[in-house]
Chains A and B, each alone.
Chain A
Amino acid sequence: MASSLAVPATDSITGHRLDFLLVAEMVEPGSRVLDVGCGDGALLSLLRERKNVDGRGIELSREGVNACLAKGLPVIQGDADTDLSDYPDDAFDYVILSQTIQATRQPRVVLENLLRIGRRAIVSFPNFGHWRVRVDLGFRGRMPVTENLPYSWYDTPNIHFCTIRDFVELCREVGAQMEKAVALNAGGKPMQVSLPWWVWNLLGDQGVFLLKRR
């Protein structure tokens, strides 16, 4: 499902999604990983190939689960909102929520579960504070429909959009420590770390966060 919620840029040579490559860099080799909303298993496959992880997934769509099964990935058909509570504490080294938090009914509960199940959580999401979004809403007075977020307001699975700053605030509220924060520009390239938050929030197309329970 993740791959269809938002459509981030891909590497022109390998075809891997740039945000996946960034997530893969954050994961220690040989670790246990749960990918929540793992889609067709592209990220899990990448992590298995490059980081030799013991990867598991949760995916809402049957097509996604079947695609994962065919790749030999142990993926459970399920829902981030309802099924994360089934997992024991500290079951994984990393729990990844890639381009999915904006589609959950209770993002805060989901984030708290990620931090409970995993020693670390990696969350990536489309930044609703991006200038093009602001232009659509501020000047055109319309809900934004962009290349990355191609849905109309009435049929979008994305029901809880947030900006990078909003997400940072949520992390503070749930007591998550930000070990790493990266904003990707529209081309999928990481933006300079030295830039202030408001620049990220305006020019960042996506936010990718490595979080740890405090």
Chain B
Amino acid sequence: MRFGADEPLMMDAGIALAPWQIAYQTYGTLNADKSNAVLICHALTGDQHVANDNPVTGKPGWWRTMVGPGRPVDTNRFFVICANVIGGCMGTTGPASTDPATGQPYALNFPVVTIRDMVRAQGALIDRLGIESLFCVIGGSMGGMQVLQWAASYPHRVFAALPIAAAARHSAQNIAFHEVGRQAVMADPDWRGGRYLLEGTRPSKGLAVARMGAHITYLSEMALHRKFGRNFQDRSAPTFSFDADFQIESYLRYQGISFVERFDANSYLYVTRAMDYFDLAAEHGGSLARAFQGSGTRFCVISFTSDWLFPTSDSRAIVHALNAAAASVAFVEVESDKGHDAFLLDEPEMFAAAYGFIDAAARARGIP
């Protein structure tokens, strides 16, 4: 969806971005009274291909377990929309897009993006699709941040909200991890001050290291131990070298290498920054409850026991604020040893909770 020079995206950085575009996918059919639209918000390195094979990687959509026919977000019942975030690299305007002022890629001239900018861009898309109010907004991790921002910015446009493994603000520890990732990218000589597209290089090593570090934070010690232990990779003894002796090393290297094939390094800088800046309470005088005051949205918050990146305490803080705002809120902590990534994996308890919440909300909205 393209927005011309007369329809700028007003960004928190104080810049009116124009022209701009947003890439999205839809599934299912919008009903006559346009009451069955569900918006899925993707996480840091996700994209709009939530339930179809990814055209870049050829792999199945990233949330096929949650979205599809007969799934909790049933595409036979709902009209599902998922859009690439602003600042991303899968078709929505971002740092790799061409700056009309120079005819060259924006690179670091792209304005710094916030979670609220992402939501504004989605709002413009929803407007353009002629949808007044969304039945449900759903997302995990950074997607969950967008869900909370949607509910706070446009309470009358969100009937139900389902933030999973999310937080109302990014913690110091998480900002720290992101900074390490960004520094890894910037330390790669091929990054060229962000102008690598123009100079025909790619900061693959730096971005791969950033991904390797980040990937550890998405798992848990239990999950790593269960999956890899101290097992050797294709060998029976250490080689007394810095080769990838251990399976976990080989696994992380693979994660790093496959990531750089599909993700733009500057987008990684911008989208991690958006998460760092997210602090919903700060927008409302330091009170998270005030962000949801008078909200008629029904919320369901889900966390995972072994998630140390977005721990249950973060979800409880959201629930606490929603209670203080007298909002309708349900909360489930799912038992899992899979860490933060659990929200993307096969977690029957999460599906059961999501299905129950979405189905009951759909009945309350009169969606058959």
Query: A: which residues have CB within 8 A of B?
Result: 56, 62, 65-78, 86-88, 91
Check if A70 sits within 8 Å of B330, measured CB to CB. no
Known contacts A73-B360, A76-B330; 8 additional CB pairs below 8 A are A65-B330, A66-B353, A69-B353, A69-B360, A70-B359, A73-B330, A76-B319, A88-B324
Interface on B for A, CB 8 Å cutoff?
A: 298-300, 319-320, 323-324, 326, 328-335, 349, 352-353, 355-357, 359-361, 363-364
Which residues from A are CB-within-8-Å of B334? 62
Contact A71 B360 (CB under 8 A): yes
What are the residues of chain A within 8 A of B331 when measuring CB–CB?
Answer: 65, 75-78
Say whether chain A's binding surface is mostly helix, strand, loop, or mixed. mixed
Closest 3 CB pairs of A and B: A72-B360, A70-B356, A69-B356
Contact B333 A91 (CB under 8 A): no
Q: Is the CB of B320 within 8 A of A86?
A: yes
Residue of chain A at shortest CB distance from B321: A86
The answer to whether A66 and B356 touch across the interface, beta carbons within 8 angstroms, is yes
Residues on A with beta carbons closer than 8 Å to the beta carbon of B332: 62, 65-66, 69, 77
Give the nearest-CB partner of B289 in chain A.
Answer: A88
Residues of B within 8 A of A56 (CB): 328
A62: chain B residues at CB < 8 Å are 332-335, 349
Q: How far is the CB of A84 from chain B (nearest CB, A)?
A: 11
For B357, what are the chain A residues with a Cβ–Cβ distance below 8 Å?
69
A14 to B216, CA, bound (A): 54
Q: Chain B's interface: helix, strand, loop or mixed, by majority?
A: helix
Residue of A at shortest CB range from B328? A74
User: If the complex has contacts A74-B328, A78-B331, A88-B324, are A66 and B363 also in contact, measured as CB distance less than 8 A?
Assistant: no
Taking CB atoms, residues of chain A closer than 8 Å to B320 are 86
18 example contacts (A-B, Cβ-Cβ < 8 A) are as follows A56-B328, A62-B333, A62-B335, A65-B332, A66-B349, A67-B356, A69-B300, A69-B356, A69-B357, A71-B360, A73-B330, A74-B329, A76-B323, A76-B330, A76-B331, A86-B320, A86-B323, A91-B326
Contact B323 A91 (CB under 8 A): yes
Asked whether, in the complex, the Cβ of A66 is within 8 Å of the Cβ of B352, the reply is: yes
CB of B59, distance to nearest CB on chain A (Å):
30
Contact in complex: A74, B298 (CB < 8 Å): yes
Q: How far is the CB of A76 from chain B (nearest CB, A)?
A: 4
Which one of A75, A88, A91 lies within 8 Å of B330 (CB-CB)? Answer: A75
Q: Give A69 to B72 CA distance when docked, in angstroms.
A: 13
Docked pose: A71 CA to B330 CA in angstroms:
12
Residues of A within 8 A of B353 (CB): 65-66, 69
- Given A62-B335, A62-B349, the answer on whether A69 and B324 have CB atoms closer than 8 Å is no
State whether A74 touches B330 (Cβ < 8 A).
yes
Give Cα A86–Cα B363 distance, bound, in whole angstroms. 30
CA distance A206 to B319 in the complex (A): 33
Residues of chain A lying within 8 A (CB to CB) of residue B328: 56, 74
Q: Kindly state the separation between the CA atoms of A65 and B364 in the bound complex, as whole angstroms.
A: 19
- Residue from B329, B335, B359, B364 in contact with A76 in the complex, judged by beta carbons closer than 8 Å: B329
Q: A76 — which chain B residues lie within 8 A by C-beta?
A: 319, 323, 329-331
CB-based contact B356/A87 at 8 Å: no
CA of A78 to CA of B324, assembled, Å = 16
What distance in Å separates the Cβ of A134 from its nearest Cβ neighbour in chain B? 41
The reply to whether B335 and A72 form a contact with Cβ atoms under 8 Å apart is no
Q: How far is the CB of B329 from chain A (nearest CB, A)?
A: 6
Closest chain B residue to A75, Cβ basis: B330
A67 surroundings in chain B (CB, below 8 A):
356
